[in-house]
Amino acid sequence: MADTLDGYLARWAGTDPTRDAVRKALVAIAGATAAISGVVADGPLAGELSATLGKGADGYDEQKELDVRADALLFEALKGAPVAAYASEEAELPVAVNAGAPLLVAVDPLDGSSNIDTDVTIGTIFSVLPAPAGVDPVSEAAFFQKGRDQLAAGYTVYGPHTALVLSVGEGTVHFVLDRASGTYRLISERVTIPASAKEFAINMSNHRHWDDRLRLYIDDLLQGKDGPREADYNMRWIASMVAEAHRIIIRGGIYLYPADTRAGYTQGRLRLIYEAFPIALLMEQSGAAATDGRTPILDLVPEKLHQRVPLIFGSREKVERVSNYLTGPGEIAERSPLFSKRGLLTA
């Protein structure tokens, strides 16, 4: 019988008190995601899960019924874990959980909300951080830590089966929910993302809004065997970042969600703390990479709780190639006289 999440975490934690605290937080998160999976599986039988209840914390994204339910399940689960404060995409500010506890948790309770009513894969993304000494854990500032400060991170995808992918800093581990027992069972203890794959994910409808250098990269891919990449590529776009990440975890490729010239998108669209940081940790721990186009995501330091960021992740050689298009002259200077425009990159 396959090993369980509980068993894996117990062996990893041993007698170390910090690791044991992380273990308890991850077990609580996993329990909540198993419950969310049940709600997702019921679909319309569980109510109007895609009903719009209002706007998200920054007034841009619509807040759906399932967003709120998922958030409540996670928060309730963490009340029994050593977590001092909880930050969520669904709330403007962090909320207190257990005073004096050593950890912070940041989450996107339900990624891909626009896909709820179409039965397309959605998910939960989470990050576990140390509660910093001398800082109020319920303050936004407590969460302004580098991505490399994460003690653990991961996501759950709710698709044909429910998968949990996480890292505690010792590689990336893949589990699948056994619905009969409600237990996550180990599938792979050492995920390695293929170094190269002929797939890319980007929303092509925004082509006209991109930086010229990014357009040049995508146009080169679209030329296939006749272009400079000398290979035919397939494009994917699910509009659920966590689902795109899971596909890359399994078979490689690259995902791009750049900043662009539209209002509300000039600094990127995805959230740094509870979306980009967790995915970037999983990518690096799987031998892949994640960047904002210039800097590794895990080296960034947040300045706002709901800060947005351009995000490019996937097979390392592909991420490095995109970064070369965006930041280095080389062939780009020769082929694109407009390469100096900086629409993709943050200032």
> Is 256 annotated for ligand binding?
yes
Q: Is 89 annotated as a binding-site member?
A: yes
- 50 marked among binding-site residues: no
- Spatial distance between the Cα atoms of 61 and 270, rounded to a whole number of angstroms: 11
Tell me the C-alpha distance between 189 and 167, whole Å. 10
Catalytic residue among 78, 110, 166, 177: 110
User: φ and ψ at 139, to 5 degrees?
Assistant: -80, 155
Is 216 annotated among the ligand-binding residues? Answer: no
The one catalytic residue in 111, 199, 244, 292 is 111
Q: Residue 48 in contact with residue 42, Cβ under 8 Å?
A: no
Q: What are the backbone angles phi and psi of residue 6, rounded to the nearest 5°? A: -60, -45
Choosing from 9, 65, 78, 90, which is the catalytic residue? 90
- Asked if residue 76 belongs to a known ligand binding site, the reply is no
- Would you say 114 is a known binding-site residue? yes
> Is 272 marked as binding a ligand?
no
Catalytic (active site) residue 111: yes
236/209 Cα distance (integer angstroms): 19
Tokens (6 digits) for 235: 């494009």
Among candidate residues 65, 71, 89, 292, the one labeled active-site is 89
Our answer to whether residue 90 is catalytic in this structure is: yes
Tell me whether residue 189 is annotated as binding: no
Which residue in 65, 275, 284, 292 is the catalytic one?
275
Does the active-site annotation cover 5?
no
Instruction: Give the H/E segment covering residue 47.
Output: none
Choosing from 61, 65, 244, 260, the catalytic residue is: 61
Exposed e or buried b per residue across 4-36, where buried means at least 16 C-beta atoms within 10 angstroms of its C-beta: bbeebbeebbeeeeebbbbbbbbbbbbbbbbbb
- 108 a catalytic residue: yes
User: Six-digit token pair at 167?
Assistant: 């890292």
Amino acid identity of 126? F
Task: Say if residue 112 carries a ligand binding annotation.
Answer: yes
61 labelled catalytic: yes
CA-CA distance, 244 to 197, in Å (whole number)? 14
Q: Out of 26, 66, 67, 292, which one is annotated catalytic?
A: 67
Q: Is 113 annotated as a binding residue?
A: yes
Q: Is 299 a catalytic residue?
A: no
Residue 254 φ/ψ, nearest 5 degrees: -140, 145
Tokens of 82: 């050593």
Active-site residue, selected from the candidate residues 9, 71, 104, 108? 108
108 annotated as ligand-binding:
yes
Q: Is 255 annotated as a binding residue?
A: yes
Q: Tell me which residue of 204, 221, 220 sits closest to 260, measured CA to CA.
A: 204
Task: Point out the annotated binding site for Mg(2+).
Answer: 89, 108, 110-111, 275
Active-site positions read 61, 67, 89-90, 108, 110-111, 275
Binding residues for substrate: 111-114, 203, 255-257
Going by the annotation, the residues of the binding site are 89, 108, 110-114, 203, 255-257, 275
